[in-house]
Homo-oligomer: A and B are copies of this chain.
Amino acid sequence: MIVTTLAIVGTGLIGGSFALALKQAGAVGEVLGVGRTPQSLARAQALGLIDRAVDWAEAGRADCILLALPVGETAAVLARLAPHLKPGAIVTDAGSTKANVVEAARTALGARAADFVPGHPIAGSEQSGPAAARADLYRGRKVVLTPQADTRADALATVRALWEAAGAQVETLDAALHDRVFAAVSHLPHLAAFALVDDLAQRADSEVFFRFAASGFRDFTRIAGSSPEMWRDIALANRDALATELDAYLGALQTLRQAVADGDAATLLEIFSRARAAREQWTMDS
């Protein structure tokens, strides 16, 4: 057993799957849940994700507390939790952005920010909510931790051990680099998919466009089926890095647009060939 008591704030897909995996691995004793509504907590308990629902005071007495909520709520939740944290309690999160979470932890926790281990599991599903939770969600998936200079080494080791017990492969990254990387490989593609679908949907003759959209379109826009609220929050939480990445992408698209308009076959072939080679290399490596 890695921790005796684990509290999950937000018992949906991410938090619920973490709890299930750790219970199955025998890595936790009791799992406590804090949620938005008594109904959602009752559902999480009925599904076996948590042993019982608790208030902030009791959550603060857990050995480890995982925040699994929209990143925009991190600051408010940490502020509610802070007065109740027992000595030695470890707090961690599962948010998609990290620099803003680190800042929220510094503000809300003060000196206790050393007990906070920022984390980001690279796993998910189009489905959400407690019913979507599964014990194997993190198996073989990457989890990025972005410890700060003052993060307690034993807190980091415990959070790492928990994710590994859930089957994940843990890597550490600088928080700012994390945000740059995920702006480019995750946040930007989501915005680009939303933008294409919305651009078509707003046309008077949108029906004919959607009628002939096929498998390439389906894959390219699959992530436009994601939660609008969650992606609004992520876009705002990572706005600086995301704006920088959008500028780079707009530049790349402008280059292609110019090559198309100029009938510049060589430039088109060069870009397409380099992209395909890079993607093939990535597919082999990953």
Chain B residues whose CB sits within 8 angstroms of the CB of A224 once the complex forms: 272, 275-276, 279
From DSSP, what is the main secondary structure of chain A's interface residues?
Answer: helix
A222 interface residue (CB < 8 Å to B): yes
Chain B residues whose CB sits within 8 angstroms of the CB of A280 once the complex forms: 225
A219 interface residue (CB < 8 Å to B): yes
A150 interface residue (CB < 8 Å to B): no
* Copy total for this chain: 2
A268 interface residue (CB < 8 Å to B): yes
> What total of chain A residues lie within 8 Å of the partner, measured CB to CB?
89
Asked if A256 meets B185 with Cβ closer than 8 Å, knowing A200-B278, A223-B216, A279-B197, the reply is: no
Which of the segments A20-28, A38-46, A259-267 contacts the partner chain? A259-267
A196 interface residue (CB < 8 Å to B): yes
| Assembled-state Cα–Cα distance A216/B92 (Å) | 24
| Assembled-state Cα–Cα distance A193/B98 (Å) | 26
A79 interface residue (CB < 8 Å to B): no
The proximity string for A residues 214-237 relative to B, scoring 1 for CB distances below 8 Å and 0 otherwise, is 101101111111111101100110
What are the nearest 6 A-B pairs in CB distance? A201-B278, A228-B272, A197-B275, A198-B275, A185-B213, A194-B275
Residues of A that sit less than 8 Å from B by CB: 122-123, 141-142, 144, 173, 177, 181-182, 184-186, 188-202, 206, 208-214, 216-217, 219-229, 231-232, 235-236, 239, 242-243, 246-257, 259-261, 263, 265, 268-269, 271-283, 285-286
